[in-house]
Structure 1
Amino acid sequence: MSIDPAAQLAQAAHTAFVVEDQENDAADTVIHIAHLDEPNIVMVQGSGSTMWELLSEPMTMGRLTERVAEIYGEDVATVAPGVQQFVESLVAQDLVAVSA
């Protein structure tokens, strides 16, 4: 699956989540994400929780990748494959909405 870099991404409206902070350390934050029409719960942490929180506001894949690179002090090219894989996984599970 390839997501158009200009497409807007955001947390899907039919999701709910719980944030479980681990001793106020963002790197240890665990987020449990549920699709309200499905029985499965997805758990994300580390950079996954950072990306989920960033997607609380619509943004493009390019902007998400830039923000992750800024937050973790890495090059965009370094984080891009991981961001792409994470977003594609959540899109496939219908947890992230993609709009043109």
Structure 2
Amino acid sequence: MKAAQVATAAADLVGGDRKEAYGDVLLGLDRIALMWNGLLAIAGKAPKQPINAHDVAQMMVCLKQARAYTGPLRIDNHIDAAGWSSVAGEAASRIAEAS
């Protein structure tokens, strides 16, 4: 699969089915951040700065990168990493606009 095809597939996921299924990405990432911050606090591992939507998306990129090194090639890991990276960019932009 060529790079442009990976990017197109990622754009289709981010702007298509997943958006329809889960709604506004930033609101979803904010909910995840709240839950992860709560879990880390309960575990006694709260970070100095709370995790935000951008951090969640970046961690999802890392998850997909780690999976790409496990087992046989599954191109969806690369498509998902590209998608999460674009979501991280959107989250960072929207957070900057709000401040």
TM-score (norm 2): 0.30
**Greater strand fraction, Structure 1 or Structure 2:** 1
TM-score (norm 1): 0.30
**Greater helix fraction, Structure 1 or Structure 2:** 2
